[in-house]
Amino acid sequence: MFKEFKEFIMRGNVMDMAVGVMVGAAFQKIVTSLVEDIITPLLSPITGGISFADLGVVISPAVMDGEEVIKPEVVFGYGAFIQSIIDFILVALCIFLIVKAINKLRNRVDGEKRAAEEAAAKAAAEAEAAKLTRDQELLTEIRDLLKKQ
């Protein structure tokens, strides 16, 4: 069983997946920071500075004994759900825009490579077409020899 586990772990696709998970975790931190630290504060004036996460309906109030909480309040926290949806949409939008930009750059690089390959293939075809066949070379040599005589 240990041998099978070792073979499983050492497969290339498992290692690729592990690297992908690690890069994904780091990428997630970047996107989360982008949403929380840049985009959300920019949207704050639009929402009037309302924090959706704090919205909710109190189902049962807290039971207090002076300053001590005996039973905490029960809150139907729909605001946290709304905030999660907004965060998801913003994260999805950011990832979409980043992937779109990467694909655009990749297509540009691929297009340049393709154009260079096509130019090289065209030049090779032209060189091959300009090349004389063996018969043509012999006839050219004979012509040149006859001109000399």
Q: How far apart are CA 107 and CA 72, in angstroms?
A: 57
| Mean pLDDT per 10-residue interval, the chain, length 149 residues | 78 75 82 80 77 82 84 87 82 82 88 87 78 81 88
pTM of the full structure: 0.52
Structure tokens at 10: 């050492």
Q: Are residues 123 and 87 in the same domain?
A: yes
Q: Are residues 26 and 4 in the same domain?
A: yes
Q: Are residues 44 and 63 in the same domain?
A: no
Identify the sign of the CA torsion 14, 16, 17, 21. positive
Count of structural domains within the chain: 2
Q: Are residues 40 and 61 in the same domain?
A: no
Domain interval for residue 25: 1-48
What pLDDT is attached to residue 12?
A: 65
Contact assessment for residue 79 and residue 52, using Cβ atoms and an 8 Å cutoff: yes
Q: Are residues 56 and 3 in the same domain?
A: no
Q: Are residues 27 and 58 in the same domain?
A: no
